[in-house]
Amino acid sequence: MPKKRQRDLSERFRPLLRRADQAALAAVVFTSLVAMGGYWWTSGGFQGRLIEIDRAEPQTAEFIVDVNRADWPELAQLPGIGETLAKRIVEARITDGPFRDHEDVRQRVRGIGPKTLQKIRPYLAPIADDTMVAGP
């Protein structure tokens, strides 16, 4: 190949980094890989002591809802109660007054049957009856 043509190709395909910069970048990458491998090893890499989602214990949150005070977003979090039923509960409470007991919720709100009430009962706060409220 003629010298001129060889010079044109070398000018056209010039590397982005000089040799010294390439060597420095390679050293940084190598050092980073060694550091990550060391961290993995000291954290229990081969022994399986790293945190794995499959092995973590599931956490549960328990909550109690007062059906006479809760707004519909809170009620919608109950199992089997969606946005529509939650809004019906709030509407029944506003139009007919507070619920006397949990059975009153089932009787006054269309869409809540015995099975749904049984599912949500553990999440409902007790409703105070006349014997539990202090009189004048």
- Annotate 12-39 with DSSP letters as a single string: HT--SS-HHHHHHHHHHHHHHHHHHHHH
User: Same structural domain for residues 64 and 48?
Assistant: no
pLDDT of residue 7: 63
Q: Are both 65 and 102 inside the same structural domain?
A: yes
102 neighbors 89 (Cβ within 8 angstroms): no
Q: What pLDDT score was predicted for residue 1?
A: 54
**Same domain, yes or no, for 39 and 88?**
no
**What tens digit of pLDDT does each residue of 1-12 get?**
556 666 665 666
Residues 46 and 64 in one domain: no
Q: Are residues 49 and 29 in the same domain?
A: yes
pLDDT tens for residues 86-119?
999 999 999 999 998 889 999 999 999 999 999 9
Examine the pLDDT at 38 and tell me if it is beyond 60: yes
With 0.85 as the threshold, say if the pTM is over it: no
pLDDT band at residue 20 under the 50/70/90 scheme: very high
Please say whether the beta carbons of 120 and 80 come within 8 A: yes
Region class of 51: left (phi > 0), else alpha (psi between -120 and 50), else beta: beta
Residue 71 belongs to domain with CATH number:
1.10.150.320
Domain that holds residue 64: 60-136
pLDDT at 8: 62
